[in-house]
Structures are given as C-alpha cells and as structure tokens.
C-alpha cells in the first residue's frame, strides 16, 4: 500500500504528462510522442490510485481493469479510422455513465456515515470513500451533495447525448433534427424539474430524488442531441467531449481526487474552446448549437438549375496533365473509401511532374475535428502542403483544378448564395472559383446533412462517380 505522499506526487506527474499530451496533439509532427505522454500518464494515474491508502477490493478491481484493458485493445485494433468519430462519442458516454454511478454511490456512503453518526456508532471500520466521508464536517457534506447533483446531471446528459451522437454518426439514427412536440419547452421543463429535485434533495429528501434527477437528465441529453442536425454533428462531438470532462471533474470533487479534477478540467475546457472555434468556423451561435434544434432547413431551398455532368478517369487525367496548380479537398467520403493512400500516390505523381499540389482542410471536414489531417498524415502526405481553410481559400481563383473527394457541405456554395439554406453563412471552401472542379462521389445523393449542393450543377464542375479509392486508382494509370 502506497502512502498519500507517493499518490500526490504521482498525480502531479500524471497531470503534467496529460498537459504535455494535450499540447503536443496540436502539432502533427509531435502527435505520436504526445499520445505516448498520455498513455504513460494514464498508466501512472491508474497504478498509484489503485494502490493508494485505504483502497481495497482488489478481487473485484483487478479483473475489471484487465477486462477493460483487453476490450480497449480489441476495439482499438478493430475500429477503422472512418469509425473514430462514433468511437469517441461512445467513449464519452462511458464517462457520463460512470459519473452517475459514482455520484449515486457517494450519496449512499454519505447516508451510511450519517446513519452511523445518528446512532453514535463508530466509523473507524469504514474504508476507502466512506472513511473519507466520515472525516467531513456538516458544511463539507453539503458541498458533497452539490457535487453529487452536478455529477448526476452533467453525467446523465453526456451519456444519452453521446449515445444518440454515436447513433447519428454510425447511421443507426437519422441525421436530420428531430424533436418531440413542445421542442425546447420540454427541455426547459425538464431542466426546471431537475432544479426542483436538486433543491428537495439538498433539503433532506430521499434517494429517489437522485434517481428521478438522473431520468430527467437522461431525457435532456437524448432530446438535445436528437434536435441537432447532421451539419452540426462535428460540433456536437466536441461539445460532448467537453461535457465528459466536466463530468470527470465533478467525480474528482466528489472523490477528493485532485488528478480527476485537473484532467477533467483540461478535457472540459479544451472541448469547450474547440466547440467555440468550430462554431465560429461554421458561423454558428455557440449557445444555439448546444441548446439543440439547429441543422434543419430554415426555409424553402433555392431552386437549382442545370444538370450534373459526368466524366471518366481519362478525362480527369487529361485535364490534370495540362494543369499547373491543383488543390485537393478531402472529406468523409475519402475516409469511408480508405482512399488516402491512393490520393497520396496521386499527389506524389503530380508533384513529380512539376505541378503545385496542396490540400485544403475545412475545420469541420469529416465527422470529427482533425479527421482529415490524421488520414493524410497516416498516408504520409507532407505536412507543408496541408493547408487550413483561411490559408488557402483565396487561392482558388488562381487554381487550375480543384478535386473534391467525398465532401459536400464544406464546398457548398448555398452557404453564400441561399439565405434559406441550413448552412447559410457558414464559411466554405470556394472550390467553384477554380477553372475546373472535379468531384469524386459515389452517386447523385445529398451529403450527410441532407442538403443539396449547387456546386455539382455548375458549368465548370464535372462528376467522377464511383468509389473514391477505385476512382483515384483508375486515375493514376492515366497520369503522365
């Protein structure tokens, strides 16, 4: 059994490693090392917490840790990059549910200690968290109750919200916004009832208040995320990441665990900042998105004239062979087709023939922030030709060819041309200003958010239909 001094020192070391990990993930070249910082930090945190003072029940703990480690390893090995957004959402749900269970357990232990005090019985036999609660003064127990309420509310909202986000990202739940009759009034009513239950609980009501509070919070999480459309799902994932962090911090306060407080605050604040940045990039109101109900059609869509004109790989290659500058815009379709390696080979061949080739990355490309950057790094695309939207958007009018691979909403001119569009006002990559635009797409359907794209009907746009990897592979044989 380790002393409290060792545990505190380990918590500081793990916190530093987590901060280094989070900071390193902002740079592609340092990302791999940053991941190892996080792995080592988590190993230190688990080891020193498990063998800290007053900890027991290893007959239950060690098998659970082993089972969790094996499941995590198997899932990580099997999940493809295309499934990472839904995996992240699923993992957020576990954090939320853990917060609810810990909060319930904490209150049961609090009640056990109070019962012992009322009976004037000894609390010396208590261990682990109960022993900690036994040392608290009445005002500290009141703060514990506040922490329990917060952990249950934010944890339950995170759990069901993350489950719905997983369902939408995985295609198991319809991506369009859906709300029950009453819409936001139902959410407001559930929140008001949650506040009333919290007051009743703090004034001595029974454990039932926490059960009903959890049920209402589960509903709020479900209804909030059901009301958010596919166009806003990347922000939702980031927002739920923030929620899971605050839930972890709440658990930390409840358990008097400094490490959980620090790491939860890191995750919560970084997720909130990222959500704000993404909302700004999409010209969305941050508060409006987190309250749900956005991403749907705000009026009749503008009528689209023209028709989609198809082209074959040979035709695309002929234009590329005569081009001097090319910008590639990757999207979720590239991830689904696992076409990143074929795209990397195309870039290598084009650059070898003296052409300027760059990538344009929209802040919300794919279904997870940084999704495209990770795929391109995996395919060993040079970092210096991967450009963010604000760095490259003004270059499209001077570009010979823009190639859109599996993207829809982030290159949709309706954001600028149609005030009634669900994405009206959202900054987009202005690929249509290039001399020629080639769009690699499976078929003529709409994108994830269900919004029609006028780009596909413009005179300088040609559609290369088919699986993205197969299309790029067939293109490679025609490039000089």
Backbone angles phi, psi at 100, to 5 degrees: -65, -50
Q: Residue 294 and residue 422: Cα distance in Å, rounded?
A: 8
CA-wise closest residue to 293 among 177, 375, 204 = 177
DSSP 8-class letter at 310:
B
DSSP 8-class letter at 303:
P
Backbone angles phi, psi at 11, to 5 degrees: -65, -40
The helix (H) or strand (E) run that includes residue 226 is: helix 208-226
pTM of the model: 0.78
Give the 3-state secondary structure percentages of the chain, helix then strand then coil, rounded to 5.
65, 5, 30
DSSP 8-class letter at 387:
E
Q: What is the pLDDT along the chain (480 residues), one digit of tens a residue?
A: 677 788 888 889 999 999 999 888 777 678 889 999 999 999 998 888 888 777 777 888 889 989 988 998 898 888 876 677 788 888 889 989 999 999 999 999 889 888 888 888 877 777 777 787 888 888 888 888 999 999 999 999 999 999 998 888 777 887 777 878 877 788 889 999 999 999 999 998 999 999 999 999 999 999 888 887 766 777 787 888 888 888 888 888 888 888 888 888 988 898 888 888 777 777 777 777 666 554 444 555 556 777 889 999 999 999 999 999 999 999 888 888 889 999 999 999 999 999 999 999 988 787 677 778 888 888 889 989 999 998 999 999 999 999 999 888 889 998 888 887 777 788 899 999 999 999 998 876 666 556 788 999 999 999 999 988 999 999 998 887
Q: How many CB atoms lie within 10 A of CB 409?
A: 27
Q: How many CB atoms lie within 10 A of CB 126?
A: 18
HEC profile of 433-454: HCCEEEEEECCCCCCCCCCCCH
Residue with tokens 């009976």: 119
What are the residue numbers of the active site? 409
């Amino acid at each position: 059994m380790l002393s409290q001094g060792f545990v505190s020192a380990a918590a500081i070391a793990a916190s530093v490693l987590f901060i280094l990990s989070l900071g390193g993930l902002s740079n592609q070249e340092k990302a791999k090392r940053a991941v190892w910082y996080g792995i080592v930090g988590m190993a230190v945190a688990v080891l020193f917490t498990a063998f800290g003072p007053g900890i027991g029940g290893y007959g239950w703990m060690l098998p659970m840790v082993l089972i969790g480690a094996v499941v995590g390893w198997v899932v990580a090995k099997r999940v493809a990059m295309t499934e990472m957004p839904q995996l992240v959402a699923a993992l957020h749900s576990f954090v939320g549910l853990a917060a609810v269970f810990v909060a319930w357990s904490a209150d049961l232990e609090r009640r056990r200690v109070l019962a012992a005090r009322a009976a004037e019985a000894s609390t010396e036999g208590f261990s682990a968290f109960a022993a900690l609660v036994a040392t608290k003064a009445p005002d500290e127990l009141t703060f514990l109750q506040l922490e329990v309420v917060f952990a249950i509310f934010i944890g339950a909202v995170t759990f069901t919200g993350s489950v719905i986000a997983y369902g939408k990202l995985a295609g198991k739940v319809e991506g369009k916004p859906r709300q029950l009759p009453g819409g936001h009034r139902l959410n407001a009513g559930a929140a008001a009832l949650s506040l009333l239950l919290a007051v009743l609980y703090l004034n001595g009501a029974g454990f039932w208040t926490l059960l009903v509070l959890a049920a209402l919070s589960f509903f709020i999480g479900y209804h909030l995320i059901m009301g958010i459309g596919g166009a806003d799902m990347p922000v939702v994932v980031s927002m739920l990441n923030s929620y899971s962090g605050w839930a972890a911090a709440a658990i930390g306060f409840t358990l008097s665990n400094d490490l959980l407080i620090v790491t939860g605050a890191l995750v919560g604040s970084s997720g909130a900042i990222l959500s704000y940045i993404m909302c700004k990039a999409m010209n969305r109101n941050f508060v409006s998105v987190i309250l749900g109900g956005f991403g749907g059609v705000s009026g009749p869509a503008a009528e689209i004239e023209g028709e989609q004109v198809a082209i074959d790989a040979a035709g695309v290659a002929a234009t590329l062979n005569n081009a001097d500058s090319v910008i590639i815009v990757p999207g979720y379709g590239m991830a689904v087709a696992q076409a990143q390696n074929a795209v990397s080979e195309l870039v290598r061949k084009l650059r070898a023939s003296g052409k300027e080739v760059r990538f344009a990355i929209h802040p919300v490309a794919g279904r997870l922030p940084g999704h495209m950057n990770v795929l391109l790094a995996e395919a060993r695309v040079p970092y210096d030709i991967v450009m963010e939207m604000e760095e490259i958007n003004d270059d499209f009018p001077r570009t010979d060819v823009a190639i859109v691979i599996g993207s829809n909403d982030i290159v949709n001119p309706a954001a600028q041309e149609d005030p009634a569009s669900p994405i009206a006002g959202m900054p987009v990559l202005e690929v249509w200003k290039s001399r020629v635009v080639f769009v690699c797409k499976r078929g003529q359907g709409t994108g994830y958010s269900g919004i029609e794209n006028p780009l596909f009907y413009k005179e300088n746009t040609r559609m290369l239909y088919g699986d993205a990897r197969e299309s790029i592979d067939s293109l490679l044989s025609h490039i000089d």
